[in-house]
Amino acid sequence: MRDFGAGFGYLLQGQKWVGRNGRWFGFGLLPGLVTFVLYVGALAGLFYGADDLTAWATPFADDWGSPWQGLIRNTLTFLVFALGLFLAVITFTAVTLLIGQPFYESLSEAVDRGEGGEVPESGLPLWRELWISARDSLRVLVRVAFFGILLFAAGFVPVVGQTVVPVLGFCVSGFFLTQELTSVALQRRGIEFKERLAMLRGRRMAALGFGVPLTLSFLIPFVAVLLMPGAVAGATLMARELNGETAGDAAADDDARDPSRPGSVHFRKN
């Protein structure tokens, strides 16, 4: 539980950082606002269309009497919307980071600069960074979809589906949410997707401590938008610790690649 508290501590530190730097808070709100509007529309459509979807998917229940028809269809409608909400929480960060790549890169660099030392840069053009971010987000979403399908199926199990499954769902969401957010800083350091994932698996409880409270807060409308700038700042602080950095440390590894090669790590002096 100590590591869980450490992860939560980074989340709080990030919110405090943007609180002390109001300009960056406002700067980081813009991508989240755009994504929020898109997701509200999508979830509203799912909410009003879930009944028709479940009726279409269960033609075998057309002739069932009360209460069985209502029970099966209402349960399925709830699970469909819960799955949609689960995916929305996970994909919100990925889509927001993709839309706001230049915004959050700058914010993350400002956090690194504030910690002292040198500021790592990927040295890649924006289009290349966007491509890598989209590709890695897709890898995350494939994993999330896999777990989501398993949890969706387990939701039909009596008692377990209403108790254990939601808890597991929040843990899965929290872990991959942390993975998405720390990728902003770790990608700039030239750390590949699999290595980033291994870092978080090695500090699983810290990842959950950061991501699970954030996932729960994202269930409250508009809160996700307000917390995103601080979440990126906190994830940058966490990424520094995962990478073995302290204030004033250079972020380059001993075996850093040639700066002239794509994907190598560059550093900018303060």
pLDDT at residue 252 in the model? 39
- Cis amide linkage into residue 262, ω under 30° from 0: no
* pLDDT band with cut points at 50, 70 and 90 for residue 205: very high
Distance CA 181, CA 183 (A): 5
pLDDT of residue 246: 61
Residue 110 to residue 229: CA distance in whole angstroms: 12
Return d(Cα 102, Cα 217) in angstroms, integer.
25
∠ CA 222-18-98 to the nearest 5 degrees? 60
**pTM (whole model) above 0.85:** no
Q: pLDDT-based confidence at 259, cuts 50/70/90?
A: very low
Distant-in-sequence, close-in-space partners of 178: CB < 8 Å, separation ≥ 6:
7, 200, 207, 208, 210, 211, 214, 235, 238
Q: Please report which confidence band the pLDDT of residue 209 belongs to, taking 50, 70 and 90 as the band edges.
A: very high
Residue 61 vs residues 52, 75, 159: alpha-carbon distances, Å: 13, 13, 23
Structure token digits, residue 68: 């069985």
Residue 135 DSSP SS3: helix
Query: Cβ of 146: how many Cβ atoms within 10 Å?
Result: 11
Q: Which residues of 6-21 are buried (b: 16+ CB within 10 A; e: fewer)?
A: bbbbbbebbbebbeeb
